């Protein structure tokens, strides 16, 4: 048997209905896992379910997919979610919603990243632990600003740095459960062609060694590696095309 398979494993992804989360769900299903995805929109979850179920290309062997509507900024909802999910093997927490601003921004913006990205992952880890297999893993998600912040993103950089420190601390506290962090660079979003945001991606292309932005699938590949490599813990993997090197 391939030691890096996810066959007969149960993978939970909070923020799994789109983007990096959905790409990870698809790749994990392709590797044999059953999938639990959670997010705010029931319609997007249903669309994601339909997409994930068909990845094996065999109607008689559709991937097993469960969906849960969840506001990951609500601690009580997170706790209830894990009691409903029950036992599982791997957790990935890419879901985040926040606003970035300079140091002069008001408190709401300053706290936005911690409220929308740090605390949801912190509480997901906290309430997942009683149900997580001792041979399993948690993968948190930070971002390139932790190592190479740009002007106007002080609280955002601090938040991402805090997530990476949290990953190290939890790797020690929760062992033998493995805890790691994936830190993406700029990732292309579908539908941005010809928009001001799409044009902004060209600026980020110039900031990396590889002179391009990344894809959801490239980040997902890293996450599934972290699920299956049983000797990696307490690490942050920077999947950023060399953004942090320039």
- Mutual orientation of helices 216-228 and 19-30 as an angle, nearest 10°? 50
Instruction: Let me know: does 155 contact 114? Beta carbons within 8 Å.
Output: yes
Domains, the chain, in order of start with CATH, read 10-245 (3.40.50.720)
Residue 199 has pLDDT above 80, yes or no: no
pLDDT tens digits for range 93-145: 998 888 888 899 999 999 999 999 999 999 999 999 999 999 999 999 999 88
> What percentage of the chain exceeds 70 in pLDDT?
93
pTM: 0.94
pLDDT bracket for residue 205 (50, 70, 90): confident
pLDDT bracket for residue 190 (50, 70, 90): confident
Q: How many CB atoms lie within 10 A of CB 162?
A: 19
Name, in order, each residue with C-beta under 8 angstroms of 167's C-beta and a sequence gap of 6 or more.
Answer: 140, 142, 179, 180, 181, 234, 235, 236
């Amino acid at each position: 048997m391939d030691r890096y398979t996810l066959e007969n494993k149960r993978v939970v992804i909070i923020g799994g209905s789109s983007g990096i989360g959905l790409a990870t769900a698809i790749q994990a299903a392709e590797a044999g896992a059953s999938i639990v995805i959670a997010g705010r929109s029931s319609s997007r979850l249903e669309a994601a379910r339909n997409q994930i179920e068909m990845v094996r290309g065999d109607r008689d062997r559709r991937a097993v997919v469960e969906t849960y509507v969840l506001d990951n900024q609500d601690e009580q909802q997170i706790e209830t979610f894990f009691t409903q999910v029950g036992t599982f093997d791997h957790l990935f927490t890419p879901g985040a919603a926040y606003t970035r601003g300079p140091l002069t921004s008001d408190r709401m913006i300053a706290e936005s990243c911690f409220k929308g990205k740090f605390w949801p992952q912190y509480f997901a880890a906290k309430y997942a632990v009683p149900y997580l297999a001792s041979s399993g893993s948690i993968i948190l998600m930070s971002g390139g600003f932790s190592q190479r912040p740009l002007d106007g993103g002080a609280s955002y950089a601090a938040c991402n740095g805090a997530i990476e420190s949290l990953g190290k601390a939890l790797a020690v506290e929760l062992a033998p459960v493995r805890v790691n962090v994936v830190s993406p660079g700029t990732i292309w979003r579908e539908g941005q062609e010809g928009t001001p945001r799409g044009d902004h991606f060209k600026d980020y292309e110039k900031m990396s060694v590889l002179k391009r932005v990344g894809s959801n699938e490239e980040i997902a590949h890293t996450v599934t590696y972290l699920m299956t490599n049983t000797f990696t813990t307490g690490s942050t993997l920077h999947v950023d095309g060399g953004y942090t090197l320039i």
